[in-house]
């Protein structure tokens, strides 16, 4: 599964994209795995209310299932327009 990071999440973790192998069933479980990896991940995922998540390029929430997911992206609230 590809994991993408944008804006300050990308900067804090230090990379825009990585491939992970996971058995996480939901986004929340994936976040728990990522947090446990290294301090920079723990820091990036410290406050989920400051984060948004997209699964296969569709905005969703942290309860979302990862079944069949190929791409998960984490980023701060969007500031388009």
Partner 1 sequence: MRIVVQEEPFDLGAEAEAFAASRSDMGAIVTFTGVVRDLSGKDLEVMEIEHYPGMTEKAVEKIASEAAQRWSLGDVLVIHRYGRLVPGDRIMMVATAAPHRRDAFEAADFLMDYLKSRAPFWKKEHTAATAGWVAAKDEDEDALSRW
Distance of CA 6 to the CA centre of its chain: 9
54/71 Cα distance (integer angstroms): 8
- Selected from 7, 25, 43, 46, the binder of partner 1 by CB under 8 A is 7
Residue 66: name the closest of 17, 3, 9, 10 by CA: 3
The CB-of-54 to partner 1 minimum distance in angstroms stands at 6
Q: Single out the segment in contact with partner 1 by CB under 8 A; choices: 5-13, 24-32, 41-49, 62-70.
A: 5-13
The CB-of-72 to partner 1 minimum distance in angstroms stands at 11
């Amino acid at each position: 599964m590809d994991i993408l990071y944008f804006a300050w999440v990308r900067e804090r973790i230090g990379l825009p994209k990585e491939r992970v192998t996971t058995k996480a069933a939901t986004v929340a479980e994936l976040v728990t795995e990522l947090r446990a990896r290294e301090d920079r991940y723990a820091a990036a995922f410290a406050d989920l209310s400051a984060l948004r998540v997209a699964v296969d390029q569709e905005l969703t929430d942290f309860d979302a299932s990862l079944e069949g997911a190929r791409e998960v992206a984490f980023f701060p609230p969007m500031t388009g327009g």
